[in-house]
Amino acid sequence: MIAIPAVDLREGACVQLVGGDYSDERVRLADPVSVAREWVRYGFRRLHVVDLDAATGRGSNRDVVHEILREIPVEVQIGGGVRSTTAIDELVGAGACAVALGTRAFEDADWLGRVANAYPNEIIVAADVRDRRVVTHGWTRTLPREIIDVTEELSALPLAGLLVTAVHREGRMQGTDLFLMEDVVEAASFPVYASGGIASVADLRALADRGVAAAIVGMALYTGAIDPWQAAEEFAE
């Protein structure tokens, strides 16, 4: 399993939110590109960059995203508000190793099928999950389908992976939702990425033991709860 630092962008800064709540911002760093460089210095081999403003229709951090893609010498996967084929083209052309699709992926199955086949193994479906149901539009709308059903429906597509974020655990550092992740791994035919609530190296090991391919780590790295040197070395592939 590989550990991947999260670089969440809001108003040009790198932030960390608690529980998917935009009113509960616990970390704000003014220079996201420097933050990304620092994670590379620790030895991480991939970064997960999300434009939170684009995801919620509040704005865009496009320039910062492109600067990270241009300046950072490791694989970078990008998500947040990507809802058009043109946007995918732009990000892949700019050097993104993968593009994470959220809201539109769940609202337009035909489009998802087209782009997944046009970009095999370059599309990650990002499922934000609360109470086992997918939430979209920056965690403001809840879909009627449960994540296990969604996972099975996606099984025919050549995806790079399915990113499952336990929004109810996000940023709280109270442990990840192991039962949720284990069930998704069992249902999935592609790599599963886990996010939300990861608080310790023990959490990372527990996810690895359950077959998770990658873990997106945010608050625990930014607060020092997880030693970045250890995480980068132990969870490198």
Q: Report d(CA 218, CA 198) in Å as an integer.
A: 8
Q: Dihedral angle at the C-alpha atoms of 118, 33, 176, 125, nearest 10 degrees?
A: -10
Active-site residue, 183 included: no
Query: Any bridge partners for residue 135, and if so which?
Result: 128, 142
Q: Report d(CA 133, CA 148) in Å as an integer.
A: 9
Q: What are phi and psi of 148, to 5 degrees?
A: -65, -40
Asked whether the beta carbons of 81 and 52 are under 8 A apart, the reply is: no
Active-site residue among 51, 53, 128, 177?
128
**149 contacts: CB under 8 Å, gap ≥ 6:** none
List alpha helices for the chain, DSSP H: 32-42, 52-56, 62-71, 85-93, 103-107, 109-118, 147-153, 178-187, 201-209, 219-222, 228-234
Residue 214 DSSP symbol: E
Active-site residue, 51 included: no
Active-site residue among 8, 51, 53, 183?
8
Asked whether the beta carbons of 162 and 124 are under 8 A apart, the reply is: yes
Active site residues: 8, 128
